[in-house]
Structure 1
Amino acid sequence: MSCEHLICAQCAGPVVEGRCPACRAARSRVHHHGFGGLSPVLIAIVLVALLVFTLALRHLYGA
């Protein structure tokens, strides 16, 4: 979801500009991030890299 087209009921400005506290709160709810403020894509990349590293170690040591 995007906040480009949302209009704030408090200040009548675009939410994306974050003119008032209500705009900023709504924008932060729309653009929430994953675990620890990291994006879900970054978390997925780290997990795939960890899986590849684990499989490489397993292949090298023949377990």
Structure 2
Amino acid sequence: MTADWLVCANCAGRVSEGRCAVCRAELARLRQERGPWAALGLQGALLALLLGLAAVALLVARPA
């Protein structure tokens, strides 16, 4: 879950903006739940997949 579309019940602003203490606490909780690998995001996962596929293709295409 991302905080981009969450609306704070305390200040009625987007949680991602962190206007009040409740917003900032929720942002901290969401970041903690995501873990260290979430910083890579979808782009990082796609890049890792592409590099893995390229490595497999090189191993298969290598002459014996």
TM-score (norm 2): 0.53
- Structure 2: gaps (5+ residues): none
Q: What is the RMSD computed on CA atoms of the aligned residues?
A: 3.0
Identity of matched residues, %: 25
Contact kept in structure 2, 1:7 and 1:13, CA below 8 Å: yes
Residue identity in the other structure for 1:51:
G
- Structure 1: gaps (5+ residues): none
TM-score (norm 1): 0.53
* 1:19-62 superposed Cα distances (whole Å, 9 cap, x missing partner): 123312313417x47616211x1232122212222122113323
> Do residues 45 (structure 1) and 49 (structure 2) align?
no
| Aligned equivalents of 2:9, 2:27: Cα separation in 1 | 10
The equivalences for 1:1-63 within 5 A come to 1=1, 3=3, 4-9=5-10, 12-14=11-13, 15-28=15-28, 29=30, 32=34, 35=37, 37-39=39-41, 41-62=42-63
| Aligned equivalents of 2:44, 2:12: Cα separation in 1 | 34
Instruction: Flag the structure with higher helix content.
Output: 2
| Aligned equivalents of 2:6, 2:50: Cα separation in 1 | 37
Count of residues in correspondence between the two structures? 59
